Structure 1
Amino acid sequence: MKEFKKLIHFTKGFGLIYVLGIISVIISQGITILNPLVLKTTIDSIIGERAVDSFTVSKIINFLGGRDELRGKLWKIGLIIICIALFRGVFLFLKNTLSSKAAEGIAENIKNRLYDHIQKLPYEYHTKVDTGDLIQRCTSDVDTVRRFLAIQLMEVIGSLFMLMFTLVIMFNLSTKMAMVSISVLPITFSFAIIFFKKVRKDFQASDEAEASLSTVLQENLTGIRVVKAFSRQKYEVENFDKKNKEHRDLTYRLIRNLSIYWAFSDFVSFFQIGLVLIVGSYFTVTGSITLGTLIAFTTYVNMLVWPVRQMGRTLTDMGKAFVSIGRIDDILKQPIEILSPTGREPIIYGGIDFENIYFAYDEGKYVLKDISFSINPGETIAFIGPTGSGKSSLVHLLPRLYEYNQGSIKIDGIELNTIDKYWIRKNIGLVLQEPFLYAKTIKENIKLADPNLSDIKVYEAAKTASIHEDIIEFENKYETLVGERGVSLSGGQKQRMAIARTIIKNCPIVIFDDSLSAVDTATDIEIRSALTARKDKATTIIISHRISTVSEADMIYVIDKGRIIQKGKHRELINKEGLYKRVYEIQSSYENRSKCI
């Protein structure tokens, strides 16, 4: 099956161990079938007078002292059975140990491969998938595959070899009894296959419902501040309850179908055992088979029937594992983002030229139309415009988070899409509108781009971002843990931390994507002044809705509906009729009223 082919890629370093586990389970099953033969020989040829029809068995009996000796010392037979059980136990131990070790190692390989692949997927992919679903695939689905390798696949292999060994011996003992013993097996096996195909869909539906439930939980915990602020607890509980009921109903349907299978297979299995006892008793009475053969068959039929019955359960578990393998493969087959396709890594000075740029997230629906402008190295330009006008989309093209559809973007005269993504991102500092902080210390968050940076550089970056004074007031100062997503900090503090983290990279191009909105006007001015005063002044692009933030830029561009509708310096734009002047008048009027109050 294709699922097994997919698994082979993850067995590196553990393939031999897993094969040894398979050999161990085969040997243990081969040893298991010896017990009924020992009992048959004891009843027929040691206690009874029937001649031994096997040269090997005859040699063993003679080695142990002969039939008369063993008839008086049956404890030796008991010792043989104990030895068989001991050897079987040793190989079962090896099977469990080796298969578990291999399964854990393979699961580790899968997790590492998934995590590595997810890191390399393009930004666009991450904007379209549910985080909860990704987590589900990287944890629950991987664990399902691990259990499949450690337990279920071993059971399938063990059952197949048990069936093969048992059938060979049964047909050697009595062909007609063997035919009776396997008469119902085709029904059991056929039902198991049909059931496997049906229940596989139920497993997938239950798994996807669980992923949806995980997504709801993840979003709720991540956005707990919003939930509390808007008193959405009741809505969130109702939403979770709805998803939880869907998961419950789908899982209940799965369990109900499993119950039907177990009930039917139990009936068929016990019917098979009863049939062997009835027919076998008749054959024994009529002399067609010996009593020892009947006892052997009653044991072998259990070895035959129960693996087939269990195979239905194992096949359903395999179905669930195959669904998980498919879900994992859905991620791995996504094309990764090639960060260094050409190896072109020019020195970046900060000159930027946009020429007739068109960009669309969906084909034909352009969010940017015929955008053209130029920035000289070290200049500061700003973009302002209504929400949804395309400002963020525009600056996301520079680090190549998205690729432009038409036109040309050049960095220092070099076409952007010919420069390696890794290199261009290394040379562009992007401060996003919604900063993300890790659950680490303040110092670790600021040094994220390069953990080897000196503390002095950390302090300088923090001062430039006007966050240093806040930090030294904390009890543990720069060693303060910020909590998950920076939950212990205010919105403005998180924003300034993100600015410090970007500044410390010392990039030739810095983009502020509405990232000064969470700070007050005075702090805004303080940060911009500090940036301007830096000796290694970078080309700076500012996106903002606040006129005061963009007013000192070397050039301001006003964007509306994906087009540049105005451009100029602050003084020029406030004296021209247009969107910029209207926004300026509204904000000035609001600020004046605030001062009066």
Structure 2
Amino acid sequence: MKEIKKLFEFMTGYRKIYLLGMVCIILSQIFSMLSPLVVRTTIDSIIGDEVISSKIMKNIIDLWGGKFFLRNNIWLIGSIIVVITLLRGLFLYFKNTLSSKAAEHTTKKIRDLLYDHIQRLPYEYHIKAETGDLVQRCTSDVETIKRFLSIQLVEVAGSLFMVILVFYIMVSLNVKMALVSTITMPVIFAFAFIFFSKVKIVFQNSDEAEAELTTVLQENLTAVRVVKAFARQDYEIKKFDEKNKEYRNKSQKLINLLAVYWAVSDFLCFLQIGLVLVFGSFWAVRGDISLGTLVAFISYINMLLWPIRQMGRTLTDMGKAVVSVRRIEEILNQPIEILEEKGEKPAIHGNISFEKVWFGYDKANPVLKDISFTVKAGSTLALIGPTGSGKSSLVHLLSRLYDYDKGSIKIDDMELKDIDKKWIRKNVGIVLQEPFLYAKTIRDNIKLADPTIKDDKVYESAKIASVHKDIMSFDKGYDTYVGERGVSLSGGQKQRIAIARTIINNCPIVIFDDSLSAVDTETDIAIRKALKNRQSKSTTIIISHRIATVSEADMILVMDKGRIVQKGSHEELLKEEGLYKRIYQIQNPTEEFMDLNLRT
């Protein structure tokens, strides 16, 4: 099956280690099978008077002084069995060490492949994917594969070798006893493979239920402020309880299936042992087989049944591993976003031109329709309009998070699609409405794009973002840890640190995607004024619902239902009837008055 083939590909570079592990377990099996032969020979030919038919065994006995010497020094045979057992244990140790080492390296390789691939998946995939499910696949599913590789994979080779060799030895000892000893084997094998086909489906259902449970937990912990703010604890507890019950029920089905398998296989195995004891004792009493042969068969039947009983565990882990490989493959098969394209890498100055641009997440339902405008380098463009009018979609096209369907977007007279994605994203800085800060120091967060940036630039960007004074008020200043997702900071502080993180890169195009909404009007004005006074002036695009924020822009685009319905400066738009004027009239007129006073 393709999943096993994929697993074999993951093992590339470590297959020799697995092979050595298989050799070690085969050697340990050989030594374990020698003990019953030694016991049989001791009972029948050294203590008893049966003629030794095997030339090899006769030569070994003669080498040790002959059977009469060994009969008088029976402790030597006990020493031989101890040595055989020690050698078996030594090779088992090597097997476990080698298989564990190879499994750890293989699973590290899988984790690296997954993480690298997830990092390169397009923005569109991450918008739709559930974080909890991705975490589940990268952790629990990888651990399932590791368990199979470290324990069961090498055991499969050892078990197959043991079954074949033990059956051969039993046939060479006595054909009738060998047939009796394997009479239930076909039934056990058939039952095991039926079980294997069932366990894959049941485990997949259980694994997916666990992924849903992880998603609920992840969402709850991430949105803990929202949960507490709206007193949604009881609802979240109920939702978690429902998913937990679903996971428990599906896991219980898996446990029940395993219980049925172990019960039936144990019954068949003990039935097999009973048949060997009954027939073997009867034939030993009749003299058809020797007592030593009966003792050897009792030992060998346990050796034969052990790997068969373990087949259930092996097939269970194999079924789980197959499901886990399939779930990991679903991620690895997703097409990645090619950042290092053969596109152009021109010097970006900041001239932007949209001409009859159409775009839709679903091409049948465009969210941007016939968009046309021009922005000169170093100027400020503002976008305003109702929620869902396409403002964020428009700026996402500029950073090539999505590619437009029709029309033309040009940066400095070069078609955007002809410019390398990685290059354009280095030159287009974007500050999102919901900033994400890492659980690091404030300094590390601001220097995220380039840790080698000097501190004086960090301070300068923080001053432009009007957050320097806030940072210096903390006990540790810029070395203050912000906590996971910036939980220790206020919304405005997080937003301003995110702004500092973007503008420190001196991108020729800077986009504020409604990112000034979390700051007060005075800070908003201070940030915009500092941006205008920068030495390296960028083309600035501001998305906002606040008239005071967009009023000073060189050009304002008013958007509604995916179209530009008005275009002009603040003064020009107030002179004409339309959406912009209605928004202005709805918002508090004193806001503009305060804005003008603060600017003066």
TM-score by length of 2: 0.98
- Which residues of 2 match residues 193-208 of structure 1 at below 5 A? 193-208=193-208
Q: What is residue 598 of structure 2 aligned with on the other side?
A: none
Which structure 1 residue ranges, 5 or more long, are not aligned? none
Match of 1:339, as an amino acid?
L
Query: 1-side partners of 2:115 and 2:100: how far apart?
Result: 22
Equivalent position of 1:278 in the other structure: 278
Mapping of 1:408-447 within 5 angstroms?
Answer: 408-447=408-447
In structure 2, what is the equivalent of residue 512 of structure 1?
Answer: 512
What is the alpha-carbon distance in structure 1 between the residues aligned to residue 452 and residue 591 of structure 2? 44
Displacement of 1:447: 0.3
Q: Which amino acid aligns with 1:253?
A: K
**Structure 2 unmatched runs, 5+:** 596-600
2: CA distance, partners of 1:118 / 1:375: 35
Measure, in 1, the Cα distance between the counterparts of 2:345 and 2:593. Answer: 52
Which deviations, in whole Å up to 9, do the C-alpha atoms of 1:408-437 show, x marking residues without a partner? 111111111111110000001000010000
Aligned 1:126-165 pairs, distance under 5 A: 126-165=126-165
Which residue is equivalent to 1:55?
Answer: 55
Work out the CA distance in 1 between the residues paired with 2:121 and 2:508. Answer: 26
Instruction: Please provide the CA RMSD for this pair.
Output: 1.3
- Once the two structures are superposed, the pairs formed by residues 174-573 of structure 1 within 5 Å of their partners are 174-573=174-573
In structure 1, distance between residues paired with 2:13 and 2:380? 54
For 2:330 and 2:31, how far apart are their aligned partners in 1? 42
Which residue pairs with 1:81 in the alignment?
81
Moved over 3 A (4+): 589-595
Distance of 2:48 and 2:170 partners within structure 1: 21
Listed one character per residue, the Cα deviations across residues 187-243 of structure 1 (whole Å, up to 9, x for unaligned) are: 011001001111111111111111111111111011100011000000000000000
Amino acid at match of 2:489: L
In 1, the alpha carbon distance for the partners of 2:132 and 2:177 equals 56
Is the contact made by 2:482 and 2:488 (CA closer than 8 Å) also made in structure 1? yes
Would you say the 8 A contact 2:114–2:138 is kept in 1?
yes
Distance in 1 (CA, whole Å) between partners of 2:363 and 2:541 is: 28
How far does residue 594 in structure 1 lie from its aligned partner after superposition? 11
Q: Which amino acid aligns with 1:272?
A: Q
Give the Å deviation of 1:343. Answer: 4.4
Deviation at 1:329, TM superposition (A): 1.1
CA distance in 1, matches of 2:23, 2:427: 55
Deviations 1:226-274 (A, max 9, x none): 0110000000000000000000000111101111111111111000000
| Percentage of pairs with the same residue | 64
Q: Is the 8 A contact 2:432 2:513 kept in 1?
A: yes
Aligned counterparts of 1:18 and 1:317: Cα–Cα separation in 2: 17
Residue 586 of structure 1: CA displacement?
A: 1.0
| 2:350 and 2:411 in contact (8 A); partners too | yes
Residues 428, 143 of structure 1: CA spacing in aligned structure 2 closer, same or farther, 3 A cutoff?
same
CA–CA separation in structure 2 for the residues paired with 1:314 and 1:10: 19
Please tell me the residue identity of whatever aligns with 1:15.
Answer: R
CA distance in 1 between counterparts of 2:363 and 2:343 reads: 30
Q: State the distance in 1 between where 2:356 and 2:411 align.
A: 15
Return closer, same or farther for 1:590/1:210 CA change in 2, 3 Å cut-off: farther
Indicate yes or no: 2:48 matched with 1:37: no
Measure, in 2, the Cα distance between the counterparts of 1:588 and 1:307.
Answer: 80
Deviations 1:267-290 (A, max 9, x none): 110000000111111221222211
1:318 partner letter: M
Secondary structure (helix, strand or coil) at the match of 1:318 reads helix
Measure, in 1, the Cα distance between the counterparts of 2:264 and 2:73: 45
What is the alpha-carbon distance in structure 2 between the residues aligned to residue 45 and residue 406 of structure 1?
A: 92
TM-score between the two structures when normalised by the length of structure 1: 0.98
